[in-house]
Amino acid sequence: MSATSATLGRTPPRRRSLLRQAMPGIAWWAICGLVALMFLFPLAMVVLTVLKTSSEAAATPPHYLPQHLSGQNFRALSNADIWKYVINSAGVALGTVVGTVIVATLAGYGFARYRFPGRTLLFLGSLMTLMVPFQALLTPLYSVLVFLHLANSLIGLTLVYITFQLPFSLFVMRNAFAEIPQEIEDAAAMDGASTLATLRRVMVPVAKPAVVTVALFAFFSAWNEFLAALIFLSDQSRYTLPVFLTTLVTGKLGAINWGLLEAGVVVTIVPCLVIFLLLQRYYVRGLMSGAVR
C-alpha cells in the first residue's frame, strides 16, 4: 500500500526506471500520453454525452462533439429528486468513513502496540476475511440485518460497509502505527500524556497519511457500492446514488436515456474527484521526517 510505505518518511533518491533510461524522451512521452488518453477517453465521452440533447445522444452514428450544448440532462436529474439520493449516499459514505476510521484506528493501535494472547492469530484472521468474496456474504448478512431490524435502513447498510472496509483498514492502520518508533510514544508518556491523549495528539496525527488512505478508500467504496445497496434497500426513498441511477436507465420501452444516465454518473464522480485531489498530498507524502535522528 503506497500510504503505509509513505509513512516511512525518508524518500528514496529518485531513480529513473530502466525502461525509461532505455527509451528516447519522445517515445516515453508518447507512450505515457497514449496511456493517459486510454483512461481519459471514456470519461470525456461521459461528459460530452451529458452535454448533448437526448436525440443527439441517441444518434447513430454517434458524433463525438455535441452540436448544441444543453443543460437538459441536469434539469431532468433535478426533477427526478437526485438531491435526495445524493444525501442518502453522502450520509452512508460519511458514516462509513467515520465508523471505519474510528474502529480501524483503535484496533490498529491495539494490534500494533499491545501484546495479548492470540494477537497474531486474530490479526491474520481478520485479514483472511479479505479472501472471502463480498457477494458470498450478502445473504447471511441480510439475515443478520433482519434480525437486528436494520434491513432496508441506511444505518444497516453503513454497518455492512464498515464491516467490509475493516480488514483492509485495520491492516493499513496497524502497519502505520507499528512503524512509528516506540520512543515517540514514550516521549509523550514522559511528557505526562495519557494513552488517549497520546493517541489523539501524537499517534493519529503522525499516522495521518494512513488515516487519509483509510478514509478515502472507505468513502469511495461506500459511495460507489451497488450490489449490497440494491439488495438491502427496498424503499426507493432510501436508495443510494448508484441504485438510483439504475431507475433512470430503464425508461420507456427499456430504451436507455444515455444523456440522463451519464449526467448521474457525473454527479457521482465529481465528489470523488474533488476529495481525492484535496487529500492526495497526505496520501502520497509521509509525515515522519525529522522525528528520530
Partner 1 sequence: MSEIALKGLTKRFDDGTLAVEDLNLEIGDGELMILVGPSGCGKTTALRMIAGLEEISDGELWIDGELVNDFPPKHRDIAMVFQNYALYPHMTVRQNMSFGLEQAKVDKDEIARKVKETAEILDLTEHLDRRPGQLSGGQRQRVAMGRAIVRDPKAFLMDEPLSNLDAKLRTQMRTELARIQNQLGTTTVYVTHDQIEAMTLGDRVAVMRRGILQQVASPRELYEQPANLFVAGFMGSPAINLLTAQVESDTLRSPLGDVALDRRLRDALEHGDRTDRVIIGLRPEHLQDAALTERMPDGTVTFSGEVSVLEAMGAEYYAHFDLGDQTSVSEAIDPSHDAEGDPVGRRHGNDLVARLPINSDVHEGNSIKLWFEPGHLHVFDPESGRRLTEAKA
- Interface with partner 1 by CB under 8 A: which residues? 9, 181, 183-184, 186-194, 197, 201-202, 205-206, 208, 287-293
Distance between CA atoms of 206 and 208, rounded to whole angstroms? 5
Distance between CA atoms of 183 and 180, rounded to whole angstroms? 8
Reduce the secondary structure of the chain to three states and give it as a string. CHHHHHCCCCCCCCCCCHHHHHCCHHHHHHHHHHHHHHHHHHHHHHHHHHCCCHHHHCCCCCCCCCCCCCCHHHHHHHHCCHHHHHHHHHHHHHHHHHHHHHHHHHHHHHHHHCCCCCHHHHHHHHHHHHHCCHHHHHHHHHHHHHHCCCCCCHHHHHHHHHHHHHHHHHHHHHHHHHHCCHHHHHHHHHCCCCHHHHHHHHHHHHCHHHHHHHHHHHHHHHHHCCHHHHHHCCCHHHCCHHHHHHHHHECHHHCECHHHHHHHHHHHHHHHHHHHHHHHHHHHCCCCCCCCC
Q: Which is nearer to partner 1, 205 or 251 (CB)?
A: 205
Q: Which is nearer to partner 1, 180 or 261 (CB)?
A: 180
Q: Which is nearer to partner 1, 173 or 248 (CB)?
A: 173
Least distance in angstroms from the C-beta of 8 to partner 1: 12
Least distance in angstroms from the C-beta of 193 to partner 1: 5
Joined together, the cell numbers standing for residue 195 give 494513552
Q: Which is nearer to partner 1, 84 or 208 (CB)?
A: 208
Distance between CA atoms of 247 and 258, rounded to whole angstroms? 13
Least distance in angstroms from the C-beta of 184 to partner 1: 5
In this structure, are residues 248 and 80 in contact, taking their beta carbons and an 8 Å threshold?
Answer: yes
Residue 283 CB-density burial (10 A; 0-12 exposed, 13-18 middle, 19+ buried): middle
Q: Which is nearer to partner 1, 33 or 181 (CB)?
A: 181
Q: Which is nearer to partner 1, 71 or 181 (CB)?
A: 181
Least distance in angstroms from the C-beta of 107 to partner 1: 22
Least distance in angstroms from the C-beta of 49 to partner 1: 45
Least distance in angstroms from the C-beta of 92 to partner 1: 31
Q: Which is nearer to partner 1, 125 or 181 (CB)?
A: 181
Q: Which is nearer to partner 1, 118 or 192 (CB)?
A: 192
Least distance in angstroms from the C-beta of 20 to partner 1: 29
Least distance in angstroms from the C-beta of 1 to partner 1: 20
